[in-house]
């Protein structure tokens, strides 16, 4: 009888973890930023393990994570002339109001932000759309502008980021005809377009901004040495490591790994050369340990983790019982899961005893 491969086991386990996260998010136990931070590494692992990777989905999510992790740097680089104040991500509120749009908003962001307009600080809603292919987007942008306005009844600033690989001989239209009046006839909505490939990697890598250095891996790298780009990113992160939080460090690792475009062995040697290891544990261990220590959602998350572990244990037991998993492989995999499960039960028992 044919044994199930290690690769197939890994795919099924990762899928189970993704389902658990999506359940947490859907049930309202995880904020947008936490969900994005956790889901991307797992989707990245799934894409690497699957025979048919879903690159666009991870690509969209990575850009969303980049902006949420380095929001101030994003606006400082692309819109240096705009005076900005406090901001708040409102993606979850948006999706909660318009549930039918959830799947179509995978790579989009919505923020409420203070900006200066005519010398006054005003509250606006910012709509950031990510496009990985070249196509006209005016209709879609205006449609979501309307949803955003209805949500907050505030002026809306629309921004579209194009990360496609094409060289544009003609720019995409940045206006959409939405209305008419008897004096000016056509009324247009105008939005900002950012084309990442219009920037040179050699220019971006020289900037102090970590966001700019990361974007150098997606910009026009003509004449640039990608190994040197990555080396400079590692050097800059090493210098700033104490000022970067775990979310940013994890994001940087995932971004560089996904967009490195150099041989894997060269990448490993480069990391060893600069003594750079952003995350000490594996992605799965990082997420598990982080979940355990976050008090604000600890109880509910641990309950979900317990269910996930029980599901993984059952899956392994079924595979072994059906003769698809060798005994040695089964024992190797089942032991750490049972240990984690016992730890959760022990911790819960301590909590009950402490309440008494």
Residue 351: which pLDDT band, with cuts at 50, 70 and 90? low
Closest-CA residue to 111 (of 79, 52, 151): 151
Do the domain assignments include residue 354?
A: no
Query: In this model, does residue 16 exceed pLDDT 80?
Result: no
- Within this chain, do residues 182 and 104 fall inside the same structural domain, yes or no? yes
- Within this chain, do residues 194 and 217 fall inside the same structural domain, yes or no? no
- Within this chain, do residues 256 and 299 fall inside the same structural domain, yes or no? no
Do the domain assignments include residue 307?
A: yes
Predicted confidence at residue 329, as pLDDT, reads 76
Task: Examine the fold and report which residue of 198, 232, 256 is the final residue of a domain before the chain moves on.
Answer: 198
Domain of 9, in residue numbers: 1-52+294-348
Count Cα neighbours of 251 within 13 Å in the Cβ-side half-sphere: 26
> In the chain, how many domains are there?
3
Predicted confidence at residue 108, as pLDDT, reads 86
pLDDT per residue as tens digits for the range 132-168: 888 999 999 999 999 999 999 999 999 999 998 887 8
Task: Examine the fold and report which residue of 162, 177, 198 is the final residue of a domain before the chain moves on.
Answer: 198
Task: Output phi, psi for 110, to 5 deg.
Answer: -135, 130
Calpha distance 43→84 (Å, rounded)? 33
92 or 126, greater pLDDT:
126
Do the domain assignments include residue 270?
A: yes
108 or 274, greater pLDDT:
108
Do the domain assignments include residue 95?
A: yes
Do the domain assignments include residue 356?
A: no
Give the burial class of 79: count Cβ atoms within 10 A of its Cβ; 0-12 exposed, 13-18 middle, 19 or more buried: middle
Helix (H, G, I), strand (E, B) or coil at 167: coil
Query: In this model, does residue 77 exceed pLDDT 90?
Result: yes
pLDDT per residue as tens digits for the range 91-104: 888 888 888 887 77
Give the residue-averaged pLDDT of 177-188.
91
- Within this chain, do residues 93 and 186 fall inside the same structural domain, yes or no? yes
Residue 49: which pLDDT band, with cuts at 50, 70 and 90? low
- Within this chain, do residues 242 and 122 fall inside the same structural domain, yes or no? no
Query: In this model, does residue 52 exceed pLDDT 90?
Result: no
- Within this chain, do residues 88 and 112 fall inside the same structural domain, yes or no? yes
Residue 294: which pLDDT band, with cuts at 50, 70 and 90? very low
Closest-CA residue to 207 (of 236, 178, 168, 172): 236
Query: In this model, does residue 227 exceed pLDDT 90?
Result: yes
Calpha distance 339→274 (Å, rounded)? 36
Predicted confidence at residue 205, as pLDDT, reads 97
- Within this chain, do residues 225 and 244 fall inside the same structural domain, yes or no? yes
Calpha distance 151→147 (Å, rounded)? 6
Question: What integer best gives the mean pLDDT of the chain?
Answer: 80
Do the domain assignments include residue 63?
A: no
- Within this chain, do residues 82 and 160 fall inside the same structural domain, yes or no? yes
- Within this chain, do residues 334 and 273 fall inside the same structural domain, yes or no? no
**Which span out of 16-25, 56-65, 231-240 was modeled with the highest average pLDDT?**
231-240
Calpha distance 78→57 (Å, rounded)? 24
């Amino acid at each position: 009888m044919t044994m199930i491969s290690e690769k197939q086991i890994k795919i099924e386990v990762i899928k189970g973890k993704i389902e658990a996260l999506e359940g947490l998010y859907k049930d309202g136990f995880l904020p947008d930023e936490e969900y994005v931070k956790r889901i991307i590494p797992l989707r990245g692992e799934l894409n690497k393990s699957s025979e048919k990777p879903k690159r666009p989905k991870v690509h969209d999510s990575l850009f969303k994570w980049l902006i949420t992790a380095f929001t101030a740097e994003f606006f400082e680089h692309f819109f240096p002339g705009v005076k900005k104040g406090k901001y708040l991500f409102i993606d979850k509120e948006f999706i909660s109001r318009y549930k039918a749009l959830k799947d179509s908003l995978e790579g989009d962001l919505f923020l409420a932000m203070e900006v200066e307009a005519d010398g006054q600080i005003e509250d606006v809603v910012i709509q950031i759309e990510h496009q990985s292919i070249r196509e006209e987007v005016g209709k879609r942008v205006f449609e979501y502008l309307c949803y955003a306005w209805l949500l907050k009844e505030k002026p809306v600033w629309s921004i579209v980021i194009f990360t496609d690989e094409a060289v544009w001989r003609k720019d995409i239209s940045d206006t959409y005809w939405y209305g008419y009046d008897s004096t000016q006839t056509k009324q247009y909505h105008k939005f900002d377009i950012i084309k990442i490939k219009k920037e040179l990697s050699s220019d971006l890598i020289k900037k102090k901004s970590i966001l700019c250095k990361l974007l150098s891996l997606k910009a026009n790298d003509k004449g640039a040495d990608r190994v040197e780009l990555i080396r400079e990113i590692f050097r800059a992160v090493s210098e700033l490591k104490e000022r970067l939080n775990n979310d940013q460090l994890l994001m940087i690792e995932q971004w560089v790994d996904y967009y490195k475009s150099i041989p894997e062995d060269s990448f490993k040697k480069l990391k060893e050369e600069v003594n750079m290891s952003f995350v000490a544990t594996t992605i799965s261990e990082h997420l598990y340990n982080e979940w355990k220590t976050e008090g604000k959602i600890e109880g509910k998350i641990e309950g979900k983790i317990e269910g996930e572990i029980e599901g993984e244990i059952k899956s392994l037991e079924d595979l072994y019982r059906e003769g698809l998993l060798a005994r040695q492989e089964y024992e190797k995999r089942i032991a750490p899961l049972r240990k984690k499960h016992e730890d959760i039960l022990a911790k819960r028992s301590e909590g009950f005893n402490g309440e008494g």
